[in-house]
Structure 1
Amino acid sequence: MLPPRAYIFIGLNVVRALSIISLLLVFASSIFVLVNDVQAVNRSMSQPSSDMADCDYIEGSTVPNQPAGVFWAVVNRLLIIFQVVVLILAEVGWPSSFFAKYFPVLGPDFGLGALGIFQCLIGATILSHHVDDFTLVAAFFLFSLGCVNMFLGLFRERVKAKRALLSWREEGKSVLPLYGKGGDVRDLRPQFVRPAEEFVGGFFKGAKADEAEHGEKGLGFGRQGEKKAAQRGFFLNKPVGSLPRYAQQPRSAESSRAGSPEPPTFKSSKTAL
């Protein structure tokens, strides 16, 4: 049986796959509607009729019968296609550095709420016009997935961290797991081995801050460091060297003792029979 976080990982990626499919369907339907509108406008211009003056839309198209209606209809479809392409790249997560810098709401540091809002706006824009069945189904599918992504956006950026395809590989590099109870993303490794933490770098930053504050470089633990510390009132006392009772005294210490009796020596003698 798989752990709970595995089901969460699979479910979130299923939602992502359905979202990409819905965006691809809207991309194809937008191109189809754009071509159909251009053909309808060409037919109406080749066969002028007085009845078109009372129509709100050009027959067989989504182009409004008003000044510059054709222009705005084409611009609308081109903007939808451009937005769909951007959202597909955001769902794939490439390039992440581009989104993190220029579109932060679609980058890895934000949740899925903004993505769901954009999908609902595109779906509502398409559904507000009279379109064919294929475009209608694609737009409704996109609007439904947008509502799901807005709900997942309530969990903020943790959703993207849990559905990342490389999260399992990154977790396998560490000895301790990256997930706590309930599937929450928590790095349980010590601070000095976390790549995101600056535990060790904080000491160097602190040293640089002291250097900038006092205008001096570190002198280390040598003679110069001791002199500088003595000027500030800090002194280092060397500990008195001592040996355990059962340890033998060095020869230099035994020879330096004055008046100490020499230890008796015993020589073995052999008696001849």
Structure 2
Amino acid sequence: MLPAKAYVFISLNAVRVISIIALLLVFSSSILVMVDDIEAVNVFTNGGSNSTINSAYIQNSTVPNQPGGVFWAVLNRLLIMAQTVVLIFSELGWPIAFFDTYFPVLGSNFGVGALGVMQCLIGASVLSHFVQVFPLVSGFFLFSIGCLNILIGLIFREHVKSTRSVLSFRDRAEDVLSSLDNAKETSFSKYRMDRDAEMGLSVKEPDAAHTHTST
């Protein structure tokens, strides 16, 4: 049976993997939404007077029907994609020196609470528009993982990243194994000393008895 720390290590890394998957899904869905928006804008532009000019949004898109609407819609998707890439690298812990210097809340000295808040904000941004099934599911998925990361951050605080670190866990496991080996070696040495002592007494006892008889 594994120790409790091993189960904590496995659980935290499972959440870490799921978090990366959710970010990748949102990244992919943002590309899909951006392509659909551009196609819808092209149809709207080519349609002329047949387009829904009085509609608040361009039909079949997340682009608002207003000056600069296309620019801000595309910029919104690009920012979401950039944020997901940054958060993926943060979860991977590379390059950790960069995050410790320029984004300390995503570095090694902070927990995953700030990461969870950012994931919830991205998920809410995706879900605030009418989107297809794939972006909708990925947005819900990321928002849920963000809530879970906030909870984990409140429980483990700044120790979560060292607790789930593979290198730190390996070092702790090596220390435990070395201590067990030392304990076994000490027990074996004590057993040999006790055995040698008993054998020494058993050898000396007949000699002592023979000496007493000769006397």
Structure possessing the higher relative contact order (Cα contacts under 8 Å, 6 or more residues apart): 2
TM-score by structure 1 length?
0.63
Which structure is higher in helix share? Answer: 2
Calculate the aligned-residue CA RMSD, in Å. Answer: 1.5
For 2:176 and 2:92, locate their aligned partners in 1 and report how far apart those are by CA, in whole Å.
29
Provide the residue aligned with 1:83 in structure 2.
83
For 2:53 and 2:32, locate their aligned partners in 1 and report how far apart those are by CA, in whole Å.
26
Of structures 1 and 2, the larger Rg is shown by 1
Deviation at 1:171, TM superposition (A): 2.2
Task: Tell me the secondary structure at the aligned position of residue 77 of structure 2.
Answer: helix
Q: Which amino acid aligns with 1:72?
A: W
Corresponding position: 1:95 with 2:106: no
Deviation at 1:174, TM superposition (A): 4.3
Provide the residue aligned with 1:56 in structure 2.
56
Provide the residue aligned with 2:22 in structure 1.
22
- Calculate percent identity across the aligned residue pairs: 60
Deviation at 1:53, TM superposition (A): 2.4
Against the structure 1 CA distance between its residues 35 and 51, is the aligned structure 2 distance closer, same or farther, given a 3 Å change threshold? closer
Q: Is the 8 A contact 2:44 2:51 kept in 1?
A: no
Q: Which amino acid aligns with 1:160?
A: K
Against the structure 1 CA distance between its residues 175 and 33, is the aligned structure 2 distance closer, same or farther, given a 3 Å change threshold? closer
Q: Is the 8 A contact 2:108 2:161 kept in 1?
A: yes
Aligned residues: 177
For 1:175 and 1:2, locate their aligned partners in 2 and report how far apart those are by CA, in whole Å.
13
Q: Deviations over 1:200-234 (max 9, x none)?
A: xxxxxxxxxxxxxxxxxxxxxxxxxxxxxxxxxxx
For 1:83 and 1:173, locate their aligned partners in 2 and report how far apart those are by CA, in whole Å.
37
Deviation at 1:172, TM superposition (A): 4.6
Q: Is the 8 A contact 2:100 2:108 kept in 1?
A: yes
For 1:78 and 1:51, locate their aligned partners in 2 and report how far apart those are by CA, in whole Å.
26
Q: Is the 8 A contact 2:163 2:169 kept in 1?
A: no
Against the structure 1 CA distance between its residues 6 and 173, is the aligned structure 2 distance closer, same or farther, given a 3 Å change threshold? closer
Unaligned runs of 5+ in 2: 179-215
Against the structure 1 CA distance between its residues 161 and 41, is the aligned structure 2 distance closer, same or farther, given a 3 Å change threshold? same
Unaligned runs of 5+ in 1: 178-273
Task: Tell me the secondary structure at the aligned position of residue 156 of structure 1.
Answer: helix
Provide the residue aligned with 1:169 in structure 2.
170
Provide the residue aligned with 1:204 in structure 2.
none
Deviation at 1:25, TM superposition (A): 0.3
Corresponding position: 1:130 with 2:130: yes
